[in-house]
């Protein structure tokens, strides 16, 4: 990008799920869009797309019908972002993003309700959409089918034996085994990305099949850590299923993960294919005239946006910062809705609701940030995603849903 290209209809600050979704939605409306940020945090994603599984925060129950929970949110006069979005728009936004992912080669499944997916800790995670490679993960768990979980020696963040021990009480047909891939014998530890790249090659898959055949022949389903390639995971899964004559599925691995890397690669691909300017790893500095200096190594630009969407996330994304006397928003110094003194930020019990998780930017129903008096800060400024107030996404299991739906709603309100 150069200074001749600096004017745009929308500048999106942040390149996670919220930012990328917003960029695609804005592009559909014909808005000249620039997105700036880092996609590195995506590596910590399980690849699961949650809508919502629990409400209210202290309910501590997992529900199968996310739409019923969203309706409960709206009845309760909650400040949760879903209160500001029509259910039809929430559903539409999710379908659009899943279509973008599918067109880029990353297929997802959504069943209209929450599904249970086996995790690397041996528990199950309730989620709304999941990679196609995890479809049999859901089915095998629901039916408690004859199944073996295969681990890999020295693979970080995955233990087939631990998964078996946690689940076998209610799943009598579940077994586990571990295989050694000789190619990695010189390594003290191996990572999921290393194995994924190894399995991209047909010759290496031949070796893998030879190792698995004697272990899996008596089972209907076989679970593997999420290592089946990076760019063509669905094809690799089907290829191995055909060779082994079993039904395979992936299980997420503790981050950094292949499922997160796949999302990162897809983000880059769809932004490029849609002609959206992506300032990857650029550092933005806001100027007094509301333009932004963008710098990355020797590349510089001045961006003059008509509108700005804040999609910087919370503390990990550095959209919020915890100071001694309070939580601050880091780009515009917006008013942050937060618990009072630091002593109120957390509870002594880890599983209790922690008020700090509800901290964030308050907006009107158009997702314009508002000040402490409820007045719009700037009619051309918007906020979306996890930075929004009233959104304890970790406990409500609604992170990606809020990211995508609020991005869609905010962009639709841009004049």
pLDDT tens, residue by residue, 67-95: 999 999 999 977 899 999 999 999 999 99
Tokens of 263: 């999302």
Q: For position 298, what pLDDT does the model report?
A: 85
Indicate the helix (H) or strand (E) that contains 271.
helix 258-273
**Domain architecture of the chain: domains with CATH:** 3-102+261-412 (3.50.50.60), 120-251 (3.40.50.1860)
Is the separation of the CB atoms in 388 and 310 below 8 Å? no
Please tell me the pTM assigned to this model: 0.94
> What is the pLDDT at residue 39?
78
**Total residues found in the chain within this entry:** 415
207-248 pLDDT, tens digit each: 999 999 999 999 999 999 999 999 899 999 999 999 999 999
Summarize pLDDT for 347-389 with one digit per residue, the tens: 877 767 788 888 999 999 999 999 999 999 999 999 999 999 9
The encoded tokens of residue 22 equal 């917003």
Counting beta carbons within 10 angstroms of the beta carbon of residue 11, is it exposed (0 to 12), middle (13 to 18) or buried (19 or more)? Answer: buried
Phi, psi of 175 (to 5 degrees): -130, 175
pLDDT reported for residue 139:
98
- Of residues 195 and 341, more confidently modeled: 195
Contact between 250 and 226 under an 8 Å Cβ cutoff? The reply is: yes
Average pLDDT, the chain: 93
Our measurement of the distance from residue 147's CA atom to the centroid of its chain's CA atoms, rounded to an integer in Å, reads 28
Both structure tokens of 403: 């990211």
Give, for 233, the enclosing helix (H) or strand (E): helix 233-244
* Whole-number pLDDT of residue 1: 46
In this prediction, residue 5 has a pLDDT band, given cuts at 50, 70 and 90, of low
Burial of 189 (0-12, 13-18, 19+ CB in 10 A): exposed
Instruction: With H, G, I as helix, E, B as strand and everything else as coil, classify residue 345.
Output: coil
Give the model confidence (pLDDT) of 263-296 as tens digits.
999 999 999 999 999 999 999 999 999 899 999 9
pLDDT in tens, 92-122: 999 999 999 999 999 999 999 999 999 999 9
Mapped onto helix, strand or coil, the DSSP state of residue 58 is helix
Reduced to 3 states (helix: H, G, I; strand: E, B; else coil), residue 23 is helix
pLDDT of 4 strictly over 50: no
Q: What's the pLDDT tens digit per position in 162-173?
A: 999 999 999 999
List Cβ neighbours of 271 (8 Å cut-off, separation of 6 or more): 20, 23, 24, 35, 278
Residue 64: name the closest of 49, 74, 54 by CA. 54
Residue 269 tokens read as 């691909």
Band (415; pLDDT cuts 50, 70, 90): confident
CA 332 – CA 288 distance, rounded (Å): 11
143 pLDDT higher than 80: yes
CA–CA gap between residue 345 and residue 349 (Å, rounded): 12
Q: Kindly state the percentage of the chain with pLDDT values over 70.
A: 98
């Amino acid at each position: 990008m150069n200074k001749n290209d600096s004017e745009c209809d929308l500048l999106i600050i942040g390149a996670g799920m919220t930012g990328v979704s917003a960029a695609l939605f804005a592009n559909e409306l014909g808005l000249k869009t620039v997105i700036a940020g880092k996609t590195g945090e995506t590596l910590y994603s399980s690849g699961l797309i949650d809508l919502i599984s629990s409400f209210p925060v202290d309910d501590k129950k997992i529900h199968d019908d996310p739409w019923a929970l969203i309706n409960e949110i709206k009845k309760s006069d909650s400040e949760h972002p879903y209160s500001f979005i029509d259910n039809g728009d929430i559903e539409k936004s999710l379908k659009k993003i899943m279509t973008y992912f599918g067109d880029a080669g990353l297929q997802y499944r959504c069943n209209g309700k929450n599904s249970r997916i086996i995790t690397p800790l041996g528990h199950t995670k309730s989620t709304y959409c999941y990679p196609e490679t995890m479809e049999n993960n859901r089915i095998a768990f629901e039916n408690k089918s004859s199944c073996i979980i295969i681990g890999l020696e020295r693979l970080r963040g995955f233990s087939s034996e631990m998964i078996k021990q946690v689940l076998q009480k209610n799943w009598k047909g579940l077994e586990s085994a571990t295989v050694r891939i000789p190619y990695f014998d010189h390594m003290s530890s191996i990572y999921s990305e290393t194995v994924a790249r190894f399995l991209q090659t047909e010759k290496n898959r031949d070796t893998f099949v030879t190792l698995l055949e004697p272990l899996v022949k008596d089972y209907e389903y076989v679970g593997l850590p999420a290592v089946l390639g990076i760019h063509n995971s669905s094809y690799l899964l089907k290829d191995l299923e055909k060779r082994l004559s079993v039904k395979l599925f992936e299980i997420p691995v503790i981050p950094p993960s292949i499922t997160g890397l796949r999302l990162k690669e897809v983000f880059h691909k769809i932004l490029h294919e849609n002609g959206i300017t992506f300032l990857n790893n650029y550092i933005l500095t806001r100027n007094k005239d509301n333009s932004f200096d963008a710098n990355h190594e020797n590349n510089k630009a001045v961006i003059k946006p008509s509108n700005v969407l804040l999609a910087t996330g919370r503390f990990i994304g550095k959209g919020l910062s915890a100071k001694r006397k309070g939580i601050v928003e880091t780009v515009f110094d917006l008013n942050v809705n937060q618990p009072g003194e630091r002593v109120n930020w957390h509870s002594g019990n880890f599983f209790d609701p922690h008020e700090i998780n509800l901290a964030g930017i308050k907006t009107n129903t158009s997702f314009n940030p508002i000040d402490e008096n409820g007045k719009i800060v700037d009619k051309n400024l918007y906020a979306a995603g996890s930075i929004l107030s009233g959104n304890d996404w970790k406990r409500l299991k609604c992170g990606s849903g809020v990211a995508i739906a609020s991005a869609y709603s905010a962009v639709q309100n841009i004049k």
